[in-house]
Amino acid sequence: MDEDFWLIRRMKQGDEQAIEDFVRKYYPVILRYCRIHIQDPGYAEDMTQETFARFFRTLPQYQHYGKAANYLYVIAGNCCRDHCKKHQELPLEDLPETAEDTLEDRMDVRLALAKLPKEFRETAVLFFIQGLTQTQIAKILGIGVPLVKYRIKRARTLLAAILETEE
């Protein structure tokens, strides 16, 4: 059994420390995911909190079949989509900054991602930005691994073409 199994088991028994450990473990990655999809950092944090609220509301019925992170990504994706529909925003990014990135590079990637069709954009964000495996992406999106591989390959090709034409 994995660490998540034991955490969830303890959470279902009402262990407050297990709940705190679970949130501490997954909050940063879910917040990062939400910030990629929602431009406003405040709303991204709200959607992250909503993700955990929805998870804990359904905790008694939750069946652990693998990584809890996959289930959290599904919930976070739904929260972000609901938010964007409600506010009629284009979901996308406040991409995380790294020291070696320049502002111009981040803007180019952000604009290129925004131009991708939705199914390729979602897969690209999960693979290139979040660093998830193809199997994890398949579970989150509810599709097969071969389709994930195709979408990653196609997203890579489209991004290269978009970035090349913008130079």
Per-residue pLDDT at 100: 45
**Least confident among 81-85, 112-116, 135-139, 141-145:** 81-85
**74, 79, 82, 83 alpha-carbon torsion, rounded to 10°:** -140
Which range of residues forms the domain containing residue 146? Answer: 99-167
> How many domains, the chain?
2
Give 43-88 pLDDT, tens digit per residue: 889 999 999 999 999 888 888 777 788 889 889 988 888 877 776 5
Cα distance from N-terminal residue to C-terminal residue, the chain = 50
Q: Are residues 58 and 104 in the same domain?
A: no
Cβ count near 81 (within 10 Å): 15
Q: Are residues 105 and 121 in the same domain?
A: yes
Query: Domain containing 20 — which CATH number?
Result: 1.10.1740.10
DSSP H or E segment with residue 58: none
Sign of CA dihedral 54, 56, 60, 61: positive
